[in-house]
Structures are given as structure tokens and as C-alpha cells.
Amino acid sequence: MSETVIDVKGMSCPLPVLRANRALRGLAAGDRLRVLATDRAAVADFQAFCRETGHALLAWSEEAGVFSFVIRKKAD
């Protein structure tokens, strides 16, 4: 299991989710994706994205205006 990090700071909805979706397509089932974002709407966006796609939102946090989301890719 590996973890990939993408930096989408400064991008607004829906770009963070679209970039994460693209990155997840290239990962193996069970791999983790960490997304770094600054858009406050990303919190609700990633919760809805994971609920709708079946990927697991393992954790999210915010520090100094930067949100970090950890997503585990669902089994294919």
C-alpha cells in the first residue's frame, strides 16, 4: 500500500475533487491519496465525493488554512 500526495492549494471547487478523481484512477485498490487544499468547500466536497464513489475518507484535518484529506481507493 502506498500513499500519493497531490497539492491543489489555491484551486476552487470543483477542481480539487476532479484532480483527486484523476489521481485515484492511477492508483491500485487500497492505496492512499493525500490531498492538500485551501478551498473551505473541499471539506463537504470530499465527504460527498467519497460517499458517492465508495472510496474511504480516512481522515481530514486543517492547519493554518490548509486542509489535508486522506482517501483510500476502493477495491476495483
Per-residue model confidence (pLDDT) at position 4: 97
Rounded distance, CA 24 to CA 18, Å?
A: 10
Count the alpha carbons within 13 Å of 23 in the hemisphere toward its beta carbon: 23
Rounded distance, CA 44 to CA 69, Å?
A: 11
Does the active-site annotation cover 13?
A: yes
Rounded distance, CA 49 to CA 7, Å?
A: 18
CATH topology of domain 3-72: Translation Initiation Factor IF3 (3.30.110)
Active-site entry in 4, 6, 11, 13: 13
Query: pLDDT tens string for the chain (76 positions)?
Result: 689 999 999 999 999 999 999 999 999 999 999 999 999 999 999 999 999 999 999 999 999 999 999 999 999 7
Per-residue model confidence (pLDDT) at position 2: 86
